[in-house]
Amino acid sequence: MNFFADNVQTSGLLSRVPFSAEQGEEIQILVMSINFNGGSKMTGEFKFTLTAIAPSEFSDWEYKDLNGSLVKSTDFAGQMVILNIWATWCGPCLNEIPHMIELQKLYQDEGFTFIGVSTGEKLIDVASFANTKIDFNYPVLINPSGEFWEPISIIPTSYVISRENRLVEKIVGFRSLDQWKEIVARHFEPLPIVLNAERMNNKLRLQWKSSRTKTYQLQYQSEPGDGRWHDLGPGELVGDRMQAIVPMDEPYRIFRLAMDTL
């Protein structure tokens, strides 16, 4: 969540400082009295007002990929995206790319992707680098001008964009694998899981899409309104889907998937 901290002094002066904080995070505000050039110290009552700011909708963008095809932000509508601004000459950028590749493998089937945007470089140079140095498993785009929706003076800089196309976090500088895992887990919203049912004589085949990041327990109710759910287990993997075949030996059953985090 983004905030403004307003410092209103008795002299009527107002200073405004933007900052970000997560739910439950403790924020410490340091109040100082400074004496410039032998003058009198600033005294009086300090009042702070914290104002929450709703996440803003992220800017539209379009860049070419390594094949020269145009890629637009709208191509990723409904996905969680981490837009990573980097360059082939940037050591910290290159050091964190393996972390992104690892997390891309884990989350790419869950409506999530990293997108690398090279800044200030030519397509031919970045394509040569990608073909010989790093096997990217996420889209790599080119911005030769180095001009973005805001000035970027430090790379890597990454923007975490929600499924609703809202900026939820900005990350400046290198992050370790553990830090990236925390960032992704903090903002990741799993896609809805659809439970499909097919009747086979006196049995029912239930199927749902498998997930690398979540595991589900299949549960059922046999009496309407009793509120008690009974476990049927996690099912078995068949292709890219989970499956359970259950007997229909009771006249009434409601099924659901209860989610656990891996």
Residue where the block lists tokens 């969680």: 80
Torsion, Cα 35 41 44 47, to 10 degrees, reads: 0
3 state DSSP class of 10: coil
Q: Going by C-beta distance under 8 Å and a sequence separation of 6 or more, which residues neighbour residue 124?
A: none
| Of residues 243 and 98, more confidently modeled | 98
What's the average model confidence in pLDDT over 29-49? 56
- Measure the CA–CA gap between 106 and 104, rounded to whole angstroms: 5
User: What length is written for the chain?
Assistant: 262
Q: What band does 78 get if pLDDT is binned at 50, 70 and 90?
A: confident
- pLDDT > 80? residue 105: yes
pLDDT of res. 10: 45
Q: How is residue 119 written in tokens? A: 């800044």
| Of residues 40 and 239, more confidently modeled | 239
Q: Tell me the percentage of the chain whose pLDDT exceeds 70.
A: 71
Long-range contacts of the stretch 232-240 (C-beta < 8 A, 24+):
235/206, 235/208, 237/210, 238/207, 240/209, 240/210
Q: What band does 250 get if pLDDT is binned at 50, 70 and 90?
A: low
pLDDT of res. 248: 73
Indicate the range of 138-147, 168-177, 213-222 predicted with least confidence. Answer: 213-222
Q: What band does 27 get if pLDDT is binned at 50, 70 and 90?
A: low
